[in-house]
Amino acid sequence: MFVAIDNTPRPYAWGSHTAIAELQGRAPSEEPEAELWLGAHSGSPSKIAPGSGVGFPDLAAWIADDPASAGLTESRLPFLLKLLAADAPLSLQAHPTNEQAAAGFERENAAGVPLDAPNRNYKDQFHKPELVVALSETYDALCGFRPVAEAIADIDALIAVADEKGQSLAGEHVRGLRERLQGEDAEVLRSVVEYLLGSDVSGLVAAVTDLAASAPVTPAVDTVRLLAEHYPGDPGIVVSLFINRVTLKRGEALYLPAGNIHAYLKGFGVELMASSDNVMRGGLTPKHVDVPELLHVLAFEPVPVPYLTPKPISDGVELFAPDIPDFELFRVEVDESDASIDLPEVAIAVVTRGEVDLTGAQGAATLRAGQAVYVTPDETALSVSGTGEVFVATTLL
C-alpha cells in the first residue's frame, strides 16, 4: 500500500524561508520553515492525505490504533525522516544511548517532571542516532571532538593576534584557556567543556570573538565568527574550537551516533534518525541547557569527521547504512531508466528532484519533488522510474 503523507514545516527561528517551499514548488510562507517531519513522532506526525482509504488523520493515530495494517509488529515507527533547512546555526547538542535514555526517562518520571516541561531532558526511552545527506551544494556542520593539538594551533594563532595588536587583556584570557590543555585528550576535553559551559567565561568569550575577527581564517576561526554573529556571548563559541568543522558537498553524508557533539550550521539536507526527542543541549540556543547531563552523555574521545560513505547497490541506487538496526536510507536516481530496491519492512519515500513513479507488488504512486508516501511492506520490492531523485527510509527492526 502506498499512502500519501504530508506535513506542515516546523517554524524554528534558524530555518530557511525558501528551501522547503522551493523544493515543493510553492510560495514561501512568512515564517521560517526549518524541518518537515515525515513519520509518526508525536511531536509532529505526518498527515495522511484524504481519500487514502486508511481512515486515520495521521500516521501516529494509524500506527497506534492498528499497527498490523500499517505493516508493523508494535505501535511504534522506529525512524523519523526529515527535510532540514538551516539558515543559521542550530544548538550545540548530543544524544543519549538507549541505556542512558531509559535510565533518564525513568528518573525524570519518578521525579514528577511533566513530559512537556521545558526543563525535561528525556521525552522518551530511546536513543537518537542520526544521519544527514546534503541536498544543497554545501552543507556546514560541527561534528565530534577533534584532537586537542589541532585546537591548540588555532588558539595559539589567536594569542599571536593579541600580541601583535597589543591586546594584553584578551591575550591573558586566551592564554588561560591554553594552559588548561595539558594531558590526555579525552580528559582535557571533558575538563575544558565542563569549565566553559559551567563557569562565567564571558571575558574569554569576548576575547576569542574579538581576536577571531582579525585572525587568519581557518575553519575554526570561521566558525567562531559565524557563531558570534548569531549567538554573541555564548560559551558555545569557544567550545566550537574543539569540534571538527566540515562542509559537505551535495550527496555527501554524516552519521552522528550517541554521544557525538554536533551542531548543524547552514544547509539543506535529508535527515534520518531514530524516532526520539532526547536532546541534551550545551549552548547556542535559548532552550533548556543541562550541562551535567550533557557531560554525562558526551563521548570525549576525538574522532575524525564522521562521514558515512554509501554502498553502491545497483545502477542509480546507493545505500546509507549505519551500524544500527533502527534505520537505513536508500538514494535512488533515475533518468528515463528504471531502478529497484528490496523493502522487507515499512518505508517512507520522499522525492527531492524531478518526478518519479514508484511501483510495488500491490500498488503504485507518482510523486514530484517535495512529495512523500508511506509504504507498507506488502509492496516487497520497489521499482522506481521517471526522471529524478528519491530517498527511501526503512528499518531493519
Banded model confidence at residue 341, pLDDT cuts 50, 70, 90? very high
- Residue corresponding to grid cell 559551567: 198
- Residue corresponding to grid cell 511504534: 76
Mean pLDDT of 81-93: 98
Mean pLDDT of 226-242: 98
Task: For residue 86, count other CB atoms closer than 10 A to its CB.
Answer: 25
Q: In this predicted model, what pLDDT tens digit does every residue of 117-163 receive, in sequence order?
A: 999 999 999 999 999 999 999 999 999 999 999 999 999 999 999 99
Report whether 158 contacts 206 (CB < 8 A). Answer: no
- Report helix, strand or coil for 376: coil
Mean pLDDT of 228-251: 98
Report whether 295 contacts 101 (CB < 8 A). Answer: no
List the Cα angle 342/383/362 in 5-degree steps.
85
Q: Which residues contact 200 (CB under 8 A, 6 or more apart)?
A: none
For residue 62, give the H/E element and its range. Answer: helix 59-65
Could you state, in order of their start, the residue ranges of all structural domains in the chain? 146-243
Tell whether the model's pLDDT for residue 51 goes beyond 90.
Answer: no
Supply the pLDDT for residue 281. Answer: 96
Tell whether the model's pLDDT for residue 27 goes beyond 90.
Answer: yes
Supply the pLDDT for residue 395. Answer: 97
Cα–Cα distances (Å) from 47 to 28, 288, 309, 393, in that order, read 20, 29, 32, 17
Can you give the C-alpha Rg of the chain in angstroms?
22
Q: In this predicted model, what pLDDT tens digit does every residue of 282-339 receive, in sequence order?
A: 999 999 999 999 999 999 999 999 999 999 999 999 999 999 999 999 999 999 889 9
Catalytic positions: 281
